[in-house]
Amino acid sequence: MILVYFLILVLLQVNSNYAVDEYMFIGGKVSKSDVDLVEFPLNLEYMEAEFFLWGSLGHGLDKLAPELADAVVPEVNTLSRLTSIRYFMFEVVRNGAIKDTVAGFPRPLLNLSRESFATVMNDAFGHPLEPSFDPYANDINYLLASYVIPYVGLTGYVGANPKLHSPTAKRLVAGLLGVESGQDAVLRALLYERGKENVEPYGITVTEFTNRISELRNKLGRHGNKDEGLKVKTKVGAEGKIQGNILAGNKYSLSYDRTPEEILRIVYGSGKENKPGGFYPNGAEGRIARSYLGHGGE
Ligand SMILES: *[C@@H]1O[C@H](CO)[C@@H](O)[C@H](O)[C@H]1NC(C)=O
């Protein structure tokens, strides 16, 4: 019995030490350029948080974490009841982690309406889908809409990491990258299982949807092939040997990287970092994104 108490005591001790370290760690000093780089992904995190929150609970950050929500999100109506609850929990926590490290900024205006996702799909196929794509209609549509988001964040974290100076910022970005990759992997694996199914009423397979979305992102990013759907040419697949492509990676099987500029081009849907639109009607927030607005003309 005494041994058990002792063990519990030791465990408690370990736990509380860990909590203190973690806290001090998150509170550490971060250089100015690091602040810009660490703040930038908040734009995507807000979006993911809102999207997964609405999808699983039917309400957004305003209700769950009012202090995180400082702007208005257009309401979405019918919502898929996909059990994505885990995802948004991560997102909420992560918004908190970024904001504990840097000042952060209020949530930018987001457009997560059906029309917004329908536009992405139309652009991906090069013509309007009939009827227009509804991300909230059923599980597979919701999963496909989910495919649109975390991967972009993942490439952003890979791109940001080598530019960071402080250990605090590096630790934060590594932690965010890890979780973002996990989300992307779960979503891609779920989609992969259903790859051969048709998305109705279009008669187009799930795999084809992912390939088109990835091609669109490559086109908008304007920086080569950094995005791959669930099926690729054999020579592009892992070790140049397989077509099935649950994880996207370069020829060394490492994650692709993207700059904030490439990411803005993609999430604005405009192919231009100075031309907001898409999911961010008024543009993204933070010094990096704002530096492009009002420069180079819209
Ligand atoms: C959201 O996006 C859709 C499709 O592009 C557009 O029709 C609608 O006006 C946008 N809403 C806002 C508030 O920007």
pLDDT of residue 90: 54
Instruction: Compute the distance between CA of residue 89 and CA of residue 234 in angstroms, rounded to an integer.
Output: 37
Mutate to test the pocket of ligand 1, among 111, 268, 275, 282 (most ligand atoms within 8 A of CB): 111
Listing DSSP states for 216-269 in one string gives HHHHHHTSS-----SB--TTTSGGGT-SB-SS---TTS------HHHHHHHHTT
Q: How far, in Å, is the centroid of ligand 1 from the Cα of 205?
A: 27
Q: What is the CA radius of gyration of the chain?
A: 20
| pLDDT at site 179 | 83
- Whether ligand 1 lies within 6 angstroms of the CB of 119 is answered as yes
Does any ligand 1 atom lie closer than 6 A to the CB of residue 123? Answer: no
Per-residue tokens: 256:
């692709």
- Ligand 1 neighbourhood includes 211 CB (under 6 angstroms): no
Look at residue 296 in the predicted model and tell me its pLDDT.
46
280: CA distance to ligand 1 center in Å? 9
What is the rounded distance in angstroms from the CA atom of residue 81 to the CA atom of residue 64? 17
User: Which atom of ligand 1 has the smallest separation from the CA of 118?
Assistant: 4
- Kindly report, residue by residue over 253-264, the tens digit of the pLDDT: 899 999 999 999
Cα 135 to ligand 1 centre (Å): 15
A 10 A CB-CB count for 176 gives 24
> Which contacts of 162-167 are long-range, i.e. CB under 8 A and separated by 24 or more positions?
163/33, 163/37, 164/34, 164/37, 164/38, 165/31, 165/33, 165/34, 166/28, 166/29, 166/30, 166/31, 166/34, 167/28
Torsion of CA 117, 266, 192, 199, to 10 degrees: 30
Establish whether residue 270 lines the binding site of ligand 1, counting it when its CB lies within 6 angstroms of any ligand atom: no
Question: pTM (2 decimals)?
Answer: 0.83
Mean pLDDT per block of 10 residues along the chain (298 residues) reads 41 37 49 90 88 73 58 37 46 68 84 93 98 90 89 95 92 88 89 96 97 98 95 82 88 94 97 97 95 68
Establish whether residue 111 lines the binding site of ligand 1, counting it when its CB lies within 6 angstroms of any ligand atom: yes
Tokens 């996909």, residue located: 82
Q: For atom 7 of ligand 1, which residue has the closest CA?
A: 115
The whole-number pLDDT of residue 116 equals 94
Give the Cα separation of 35 and 32 in Å (integer). 5
Which residue has the CA at smallest separation from atom 2 of ligand 1? 116
Half-sphere exposure of 46 (CA within 13 A, CB side): 30
CA of 72 to the centre of ligand 1 (A): 14
Ligand 1, pocket-test mutation among 116, 120, 133, most atoms within 8 A of CB: 116
Which residue's CA is minimally distant from atom 12 of ligand 1?
111
Q: Which amino acid, one-letter code, is at 261? A: E
Distance 104 CA to ligand 1 centre (A): 26
Q: What are phi and psi of 277, to 5 degrees?
A: 160, -160
Whether the CB of 281 sits within 6 Å of ligand 1 = yes
